[in-house]
A and B are shown apart, each in its own frame.
Chain A
Amino acid sequence: MKRILIVGGGAGGLITANKLAQDLSVELKKEEISISVIDPAVYHEFQPGYIGIAFKGEKPEAMRRHVSSLILRGINLIPEKCARIIPEENKIVTGSGRNMSYDYLVVGTGCEPDYSQIDGLSRDNLDYHTSAEKSANLYRAVSSMKTGKIVVGIAGLPYKCPPSPNEAALLLDEFFTRSGLRERVSINFVTPYIRIYPAEPINEVIEPLFRERNIEMSTGFTVDRIDTAGKKVISLEGDEIPYDTLMLVPPHKPGDFLKGQDFTDEDGWIKTGKTDLHISTYENAFAIGDVTNIPISKAGVEAHLEGIVVGENIVSDITGNNVKALFTGRTQCSMETGYGKATFVIGTYTKPVLKLSPSKDKYIMKKMMEAMYWDALMGRTEAIFKAYFGDDYIQYQSRPVRAPA
């Protein structure tokens, strides 16, 4: 029996497991393969929904579902943490000390905000990158604010969903404009990049909106620490920005269990092949989603498309189907720009980011994609994605023909 082990049942891990269960349903039924997902989380949260909770008062309950309700029949769900991955021995060790061997490994353990990197940040920051509950706290704070200086933006790199700090600034502007308080609430956007959005084509459509809406822009501002007594954000160069309310996106880190391994970099991100998604030099081990060191945005669409590529290659290996799938580097991050409009940050490894102006149509599309999320995790929307992403969905490369043994 071939054992497929998926560590992390998030946006990437779930689609990988469900795709494998669909494509290898015969092998699964005949017990020629097993598919296991190890993840201690009881609920999976739709993280892009944190924006709606934090800045529009949407309900946290609508953004979460039981992990067990998101996996197809036949997949084993192991409610434990992975404590160590030992790829040279084809095994992992769980939090309870159990060894689990595998024939194929897929790691999709994501990443999380790392408050330890910025002194003072955890004391004052309102957070919309950790959980639905924390995002709801932010909305409560925003709703009771009548006046003051908001500092919003990026506290460190990398972080999930590159457009999310821009969305925050634009939606705060809409919120306070609609409530008639905008004149009394200032919004200052800080970023270590030299533009409001780092990719020039999107910056060209976003920066004018920031100007129109009187959102202050502090570019090239690399946050060093927060002086909570003096209520100031301090940069590495010693520049200061005063705040009353702080909403910075913290730098993110991968799980601590990945630090100091041969197959991870100095910060613990998994060294991953950009297109074949192999972990380091391991032929039977793959990494997907936010946990990789691949230099593209950390976003759900990437995690999904990577899961599909890895799934294809595992299926191909098991069934002896001589094709090899490659990840194209396709990104599709949505950016809500307020007043019922949105844009998308779309690019691949070989195609630069497109210049797409915000529109109502794109907002509707964003909402449609959100509505499809739970079905997408279950692998029920692939026909639509294939048609929509076209050549960017997967790139196929024939496998070299192996000499007979």
Chain B
Amino acid sequence: MVTVNIDSRGTACPGPLTDIIRAYKKASNGDILVVMATDPGIKADSKSWCDRTKNQLVDVKEKNGEYTVTIKITGKS
């Protein structure tokens, strides 16, 4: 199990989701993706993406316009 930090700050839609999908491809079940982003779209998009792909949205934090999204990879077959 590894934690992968992804810095998507300063990238706008679909930047953060592109980074998440690329990291997902390389990840294994149990891995944690921690995504930092400034695009407010990340909040709704990461939720929809997790719902759609059976991964788990652990946490979304917002501080001074910066979002930290934590996703646990659980969807891979």
Q: Which residues of A does B touch, CB under 8 Å?
A: 117, 156-158, 192-194, 198-200, 219-220, 222, 224, 235-238, 274, 295-296, 347, 349, 352-353
In the complex, 30 of the A-B residue pairs with CB atoms within 8 angstroms, ordered by the A residue number, are: A117-B25, A157-B18, A158-B18, A193-B17, A193-B21, A194-B17, A194-B45, A194-B52, A199-B13, A199-B14, A220-B49, A220-B52, A222-B21, A222-B25, A222-B53, A224-B77, A235-B77, A236-B25, A236-B77, A237-B53, A237-B54, A237-B75, A237-B77, A295-B8, A295-B15, A295-B18, A295-B19, A296-B15, A347-B12, A352-B12
Tell whether, in the assembled complex, residue A237 and residue B76 are in contact, meaning their CB atoms are under 8 Å apart.
yes
Query: In the complex the two chains form, what is the Cα distance from A330 to B73 in whole Å?
Result: 34
B: number of interface residues (CB 8 Å): 24
5 closest residue pairs by CB, A with B: A238-B77, A220-B52, A198-B14, A295-B11, A295-B15
Produce 1/0 per residue, B36-63, CB < 8 A to A: 0000010001001100111000000000
Query: In the complex the two chains form, what is the Cα distance from A87 to B77 in whole Å?
Result: 43
Nearest chain A CB to B72 CB, angstrom units: 14
- Classify the secondary structure of B's interface with A: helix
Residues of B within 8 Å of A192, CB to CB, are: 21
Residues of B within 8 Å of A158, CB to CB, are: 18, 22
Tell whether, in the assembled complex, residue B21 and residue A157 are in contact, meaning their CB atoms are under 8 Å apart.
yes
Nearest chain B CB to A380 CB, angstrom units: 32
Nearest chain A CB to B42 CB, angstrom units: 12
Query: In the complex the two chains form, what is the Cα distance from A132 to B8 in whole Å?
Result: 35
Nearest to B45 among chain A residues (CB) is A194
- Confirm or deny: B67 has a beta carbon within 8 angstroms of a beta carbon on chain A: no
Query: In the complex the two chains form, what is the Cα distance from A292 to B10 in whole Å?
Result: 16
Tell whether, in the assembled complex, residue B17 and residue A222 are in contact, meaning their CB atoms are under 8 Å apart.
no
Residues of B within 8 Å of A157, CB to CB, are: 18, 21-22
Tell whether, in the assembled complex, residue A156 and residue B25 are in contact, meaning their CB atoms are under 8 Å apart.
yes
Tell whether, in the assembled complex, residue B17 and residue A198 are in contact, meaning their CB atoms are under 8 Å apart.
yes
Query: In the complex the two chains form, what is the Cα distance from A295 to B13 in whole Å?
Result: 10
Q: Which residues of B does A touch, CB under 8 Å?
A: 8, 10-15, 17-19, 21-22, 24-25, 41, 45, 48-49, 52-54, 75-77
Query: In the complex the two chains form, what is the Cα distance from A265 to B72 in whole Å?
Result: 24
Residues of B within 8 Å of A117, CB to CB, are: 25
Nearest chain A CB to B40 CB, angstrom units: 11
The count of A-to-B residue pairs whose CB atoms sit within 8 angstroms is 61
Query: In the complex the two chains form, what is the Cα distance from A224 to B76 in whole Å?
Result: 10
Residues of B within 8 Å of A199, CB to CB, are: 13-14
Tell whether, in the assembled complex, residue A194 and residue B24 are in contact, meaning their CB atoms are under 8 Å apart.
no
Nearest to A118 among chain B residues (CB) is B25
Query: In the complex the two chains form, what is the Cα distance from A219 to B22 in whole Å?
Result: 16
Query: In the complex the two chains form, what is the Cα distance from A310 to B53 in whole Å?
Result: 41
Residues of A within 8 Å of B10, CB to CB, are: 274, 295, 349
Residues of A within 8 Å of B21, CB to CB, are: 157, 192-193, 222
Query: In the complex the two chains form, what is the Cα distance from A295 to B11 in whole Å?
Result: 6
Query: In the complex the two chains form, what is the Cα distance from A347 to B11 in whole Å?
Result: 12
Nearest to A329 among chain B residues (CB) is B12
Contact of A198 among B13, B25, B54, B75 (CB under 8 A): B13
Tell whether, in the assembled complex, residue A236 and residue B24 are in contact, meaning their CB atoms are under 8 Å apart.
yes
Query: In the complex the two chains form, what is the Cα distance from A194 to B24 in whole Å?
Result: 14
Query: In the complex the two chains form, what is the Cα distance from A360 to B45 in whole Å?
Result: 32
Whether A236 touches B76, Cβ cut-off 8 Å, given contacts A157-B18, A219-B52, A295-B18, is yes
Nearest chain B CB to A149 CB, angstrom units: 22
Residues of A within 8 Å of B48, CB to CB, are: 194, 220
Residues of A within 8 Å of B52, CB to CB, are: 194, 219-220
Residues of B within 8 Å of A347, CB to CB, are: 12
Query: In the complex the two chains form, what is the Cα distance from A193 to B17 in whole Å?
Result: 7
Nearest chain A CB to B46 CB, angstrom units: 9
Residues of A within 8 Å of B24, CB to CB, are: 222, 236
Query: In the complex the two chains form, what is the Cα distance from A238 to B14 in whole Å?
Result: 24
Query: In the complex the two chains form, what is the Cα distance from A66 to B25 in whole Å?
Result: 39
Query: In the complex the two chains form, what is the Cα distance from A236 to B53 in whole Å?
Result: 9
Please give 12 more A-B residue pairs, beta carbons under 8 A apart, in addition to A194-B45, A200-B13, A296-B15.
A157-B22, A158-B22, A198-B13, A198-B14, A198-B17, A199-B13, A199-B14, A219-B52, A224-B77, A236-B76, A237-B54, A352-B13
